[in-house]
Amino acid sequence: MNRTVKYSVIPLIFVILLFSSCSNVSREKDNTPPNIIYIMTDDHGYQAISSYNGELNQTPNIDRIADEGVMFTNSFVTNSICSPSRAVMLTGRFSHENGQRLNGQRFDGSQMTFPKIMQDAGYETAMIGKWHLGSDPTGFDYWNILPGQGDYYNPDFIEMGERKRVEGYVTNLITDYSLNWLEERNSEKPFCLLVHHKAPHRCWMPDTSHLYMYNDVTFPLPDNFYDTYEGREAAASQKMHMENLDLVNDLKLLDEEGEIQTPLRKYFVNQVERMNEAQRKAWDKAYKDEIEYYKKADLKGDALLEWKYQRYLEDYLRCIASVDENIGRLLDYLDENNLTENTLVVYTSDQGFYLGEHGWFDKRFMYEESFRTPLLMRLPSAISKGKIDELVQNIDYAPTFLELAGVGPTEKMQGRSLLPLIEGTKNTEWRNSLYYHYFEFPGPHSVKRHYGIRTDKHKLIHFYYDIDQWELYDLEQDPLEINNIYGKEGYDEITDKLYNELLQLQKQYNDTTVVISR
Ligand code: CA
C-alpha cells in the first residue's frame, strides 16, 4: 500500500515538467518521441484472443502484437461498462472522479485528457471509430466517429461534426479511415491515433465474408456454464443469462414468416434494413438453415441453452475475425512505411465479456471475465518482450502514453505509468491491489451496484443500494468464482485485512460515493 500512496505525492513534479515542456527522463536517450496507435475494441473478452487462450479461436494478427511485444496477464478495468471505461482511459481517473459513471451520460470534454496533453506537446492526434461519450471529441486534430453505438452495416459516421452514411462493413471502414489518416497526416510530427472498433459489441453482426466461419465447430462449454448462483444474490438476479439472448436480434432468427416474435425484433429489422441488396442476399442465405433448424428442432431446457451458446459464440467470434484481419492491415501498413520500430501499438478492449461463463453474456460484474480486459503493447525501439504479471488497470494507460511522449502524467491522474514494467526495469515497486466500482443499477441486465478489491489471491466485493451482500473469493482455490466464502469459518482474518485495504483504496482514490458498513 505504501508504494501507491507514496506515488500519489509525486505527480506535482510531472506537472512542472509538463508546463516547462521538458523531455522526460526515461526517453532522453532518444529524441524522437514514439508514435502511438491505440486500438480498442468493444467487449472483446481475453478468452477470445489466442495469445491468452487458444481454445476458442485464432487471432494471428493480434497475437503478433503479443509476440513482438508484451502481454499483460493481469489487466483489469475500474468499471466494466462501455462509456465509463472510455472516460477512464482518456482521463486516467476513476468514474467517480471523471464524472462518467453510467452509459448514456454526456462526457465532460472540458476536463484534462491524455490526447489534449499530447496535442499540446506537439503530437498530431486523431480519433476514429466508436466514441460513445455523448459529447464531441476534444483534443483531436481529426475525428471521425460513429454516432452512439454505431451500426455494423453501412454505418453513419460523424466526421468533424458532419454526419454521413458510408457503404461498407464497420470494422473495415474504421480501418480504411485510419489508414487514410496515417497516409495524409503531417509526417513532421509524431502522431497519436485512437482506433476504436464497434466490434464485437452486441448484436454481433459478422461481415458477409465471415458468415460461414465456425459452422462446423462445437465450442466447449465453460465449466461454470450451469452455475446455480448459490450464496450469491446479485449473480442470481442478473438478466444477462443465455436465456435472455433475443432469438432475432442476438441469434439472427429473422424469419420471413414473422413467426419468431421477440422484444428486439423491430430493432434488428432496422439493422438489416441498412444493408444493400447484395449484403442482404448473402445474409439471408447464411441464416436460412439456422432458422429452419430452430423451427424444426423445438429445443427446450438445457438443449436450448446450449444451442443459444453455440449460436452466440459463432457470431461473436466471426466479428472478432474481422477485427483481427483489420489489425493485420494496420500492422502491415506500419511495416511498409518504416513506422513499426518507433510506434507503440496497443491492443485492448473497453472491458472483458462473458462467453458463457456463469451461463452469461455481457459484462458489468467484478468477476474475472468482465473485470479483466486484454492488454498487449508493442514498441520494438523501447520495450521488452514477454509477459507482465503485475496488476494493471485502465487508469494506467493515460500516464503511460504521456510518459512515453515525454510529458509525464498530470497531477489529477490516478493511474501509474506502465513504462517501468514494459521497459523491463528490475525491482519496480508496484501496487498489490485493485479497486473497482460499478454504478449502473437500476439498468440494463440488472447487475447490482458493487465495489470491491482484488489482490493476487483474493477478491472482496460488496453489492449495495437495494441489497447488502458481501462476497469473498479465493481465486487460487476457486478460479471459477462459484464459492462465496464470506462469513465462513476460517476467513475472518483475511476478510478484515482485505476490508481495511479496501477502505484505504477508497481513501486513496477519493471515492466518497459510498459509505461502507460491515
Ligand atoms: Ca464495451
- pLDDT (tens digit per residue) in 85-116: 999 999 999 999 999 999 999 999 999 999 99
What is the 3-class SS of 21-36, one letter each residue? CCCCHHHCCCCCCCEE
Assess if residue 151 is contained within a domain: no
How many angstroms is it from 370 CA to the middle of ligand 1? 10
Residue 388: give its domain's CATH number.
3.40.720.10
How many angstroms is it from 239 CA to the middle of ligand 1? 17
How many angstroms is it from 311 CA to the middle of ligand 1? 20
Mean pLDDT of 143-172: 98
Mean pLDDT of 244-268: 98
Confidence band, pLDDT 50/70/90 cuts, at residue 2: very low
Mean pLDDT of 153-157: 98
**Is 180:195 a contact under the CB 8 Å cutoff?**
no
How many angstroms is it from 96 CA to the middle of ligand 1? 18
Question: In this model, does residue 449 exceed pLDDT 60?
Answer: yes
Assess if residue 369 is contained within a domain: yes
pLDDT at position 19: 37
How many angstroms is it from 41 CA to the middle of ligand 1? 8
**Is 169:157 a contact under the CB 8 Å cutoff?**
no
Phi and psi dihedrals of 463, rounded to 5?
-90, 135
How many angstroms is it from 357 CA to the middle of ligand 1? 17
pLDDT at position 33: 93
> Are residues 421 and 355 part of one domain?
yes
How many angstroms is it from 234 CA to the middle of ligand 1? 21
How many angstroms is it from 17 CA to the middle of ligand 1? 34
Give whole-number Cα distances, 193 to 163, 177, 327, in Å.
21, 11, 13
How many angstroms is it from 90 CA to the middle of ligand 1? 15
How many angstroms is it from 472 CA to the middle of ligand 1? 26
How many angstroms is it from 80 CA to the middle of ligand 1? 8
> Are residues 324 and 222 part of one domain?
no
DSSP result, 34-101: PEEEEEEESS--GGGSTTT-TTT---HHHHHHHHTSEEESSEE-SS-SHHHHHHHHHHSS-HHHHS--
How many angstroms is it from 3 CA to the middle of ligand 1? 31
Domain boundary (426, 460, 484) is at 426
> Are residues 287 and 350 part of one domain?
no
How many angstroms is it from 366 CA to the middle of ligand 1? 14
Assess if residue 364 is contained within a domain: yes
> Are residues 321 and 257 part of one domain?
no
List the domain range (segments joined by +) for residue 439: 435-508
Assess if residue 160 is contained within a domain: no
Residue 472: give its domain's CATH number.
3.30.1120.10
pLDDT at position 30: 54
Question: In this model, does residue 447 exceed pLDDT 90?
Answer: yes
How many angstroms is it from 387 CA to the middle of ligand 1? 25
> Are residues 465 and 421 part of one domain?
no
Residue 483 exposure: Cα atoms within 13 Å on the Cβ side: 11
Mean pLDDT estimate for the chain = 93
> Are residues 329 and 242 part of one domain?
no
Taking only the tens place, the pLDDT of each residue in 474-488 is 999 999 999 999 999
How many angstroms is it from 52 CA to the middle of ligand 1? 19
- Which percentage of the chain shows pLDDT scores above 70? 94
Assess if residue 234 is contained within a domain: yes
How many angstroms is it from 42 CA to the middle of ligand 1? 4
How many angstroms is it from 298 CA to the middle of ligand 1? 33
Assess if residue 202 is contained within a domain: no
How many angstroms is it from 454 CA to the middle of ligand 1? 21
How many angstroms is it from 353 CA to the middle of ligand 1? 8
How many angstroms is it from 201 CA to the middle of ligand 1? 7
> Are residues 321 and 414 part of one domain?
yes
Assess if residue 158 is contained within a domain: no
- DSSP-based three-state secondary structure for 142: strand
Taking only the tens place, the pLDDT of each residue in 298-316 is 999 999 999 999 999 999 9
DSSP result, 216-233: T--PPPPTTTT---TT-H
How many angstroms is it from 81 CA to the middle of ligand 1? 5
> Are residues 354 and 442 part of one domain?
no
> Are residues 459 and 350 part of one domain?
no
How many angstroms is it from 43 CA to the middle of ligand 1? 4
Phi and psi dihedrals of 143, rounded to 5?
-140, 145
How many angstroms is it from 489 CA to the middle of ligand 1? 38
Confidence band, pLDDT 50/70/90 cuts, at residue 18: very low
Closest CA to 448 of 432, 431, 466: 466
Assess if residue 180 is contained within a domain: no
Residues facing residue 464 across a β-bridge:
449
Report the Cα 237 to chain-centroid distance in Å: 24
How many angstroms is it from 260 CA to the middle of ligand 1? 28
> Are residues 51 and 12 part of one domain?
yes
Taking only the tens place, the pLDDT of each residue in 374-383 is 999 999 998 8
How many angstroms is it from 335 CA to the middle of ligand 1? 30
Domain boundary (405, 426, 447) is at 426
pLDDT at position 515: 82
How far apart (Å, rounded) are the C-alpha atoms in residues 353 and 171? 19
Domain boundary (260, 289, 310) is at 310
> Are residues 341 and 291 part of one domain?
no
How many angstroms is it from 502 CA to the middle of ligand 1? 26
> Are residues 299 and 389 part of one domain?
no
How many angstroms is it from 97 CA to the middle of ligand 1? 20
7-11, 12-16, 117-121, 484-488: the lowest-pLDDT one? 7-11
Structural domains in the chain (count): 3
Confidence band, pLDDT 50/70/90 cuts, at residue 3: very low
Closest CA to 122 of 196, 23, 13: 23
